[in-house]
Amino acid sequence: MSDLTLYAQTFPSRLLLGTAAYPSPDILRGAVDAAKPAMITVSLRRAGAVREADGWEFWQLLQAMGRPILPNTAGCLSVQEAVATAHMAREVFETEWIKLELIGDDSTLQPDVFQLVEAAGILIRDGFKVLPYCTEDLIACRRLLDAGCEALMPWAAPIGTGLGVVHEYALRVLRERLPDTPLIIDAGLGLPSQAAQVMEWGYDGVLINTAVARSGDPVNMSVSFSQAVDSGRRAYLSAPVAACAQARASTPTVGQPFWHSSGYTE
């Protein structure tokens, strides 16, 4: 199975894992060690830019896990705030990667796609490898590509809801119309079967946080998602049969002694 390629860098896994809301640091580390994700996401606010006592311990934990870090701009509401947070994250985590989040609604946590495009353009020019958290809107996604983004992270449903895919048609159209763009489903998935589903449609990866961190057994759930992502990708590469409304016999009829066009005879 092919590796995930983002901004000319390859990763052996197609699962990305968040680091927030786990019951304990040990469980977080266990989930990461078990799933072996391509990257782990972390908020600058969570790690603590000043590296005070608890922030410093969390930073040490991130380093000990040995996975590539994808900082995010969670909680940012303006272009200026998102850009400033991204620059601070680059200094703290020593990486050009940034998951760009710019929220436009407090209730749904829906991305503000207008400000998102502006912020993405600024960060691309500043040398960042931007992974924008966006909606499934095709036109907004095209604008992000025009701004210089080489990969996109559309949501399946609002953050933390576990609803699974809310707008199947839009996500399928997005995959069809942007065949050469790496697309990673970010937010809203609640079950491994939902991750397998979007991978079967041809999506390139999945980012999971709440569905793992708040489950009854985060370590086991992280493995379940990892296996589901792999299984969905394998199914996609295997060219699944097309669905059809008409029944089709799977066993041959040639050579059966009592077969007639109208059916079986006694």
Q: Which pairing describes strands 97-100 and 129-134: parallel, antiparallel, or unpaired? A: parallel
Q: In terms of Cα–Cα distance, which of 35, 115, 127, 48 is closest to 81? A: 115
User: Which amino acid, one-letter code, is at 110?
Assistant: Q
Tokens standing for residue 14: 């197609």
Burial of 19-41, coded b for 16+ CB within 10 Å and e otherwise, reads bbebeeeebbbbbbebbebbbbb
210 known ligand binder: yes
Q: Is 146 exposed, middle or buried (0-12, 13-18, 19+ CB in 10 A)?
A: exposed
CA dihedral 57, 51, 82, 139 (to 10 degrees): -20
108 known ligand binder: no
36 is catalytic: no
Give me the phi and psi of 46, to 5 degrees please: -70, -45
213 known ligand binder: no
Give me the phi and psi of 86, to 5 degrees please: -65, -40
Per annotation, catalytic residue among 14, 99, 175, 233: 99
Tokens standing for residue 89: 């994250």
Q: In terms of Cα–Cα distance, which of 106, 103, 105 is closest to 82? A: 103
CA 127 to chain centre: 22
If you search the block for the tokens 């946080």, which residue do you land on?
Answer: 209
CA distances for 212 relative to 7, 70, 183, angstroms: 27, 18, 21
What residues form the annotated binding site for 1-deoxy-D-xylulose 5-phosphate?
160, 187-188, 209-210
What residues form the annotated binding site?
160, 187-188, 209-210
Residues tagged active-site: 99
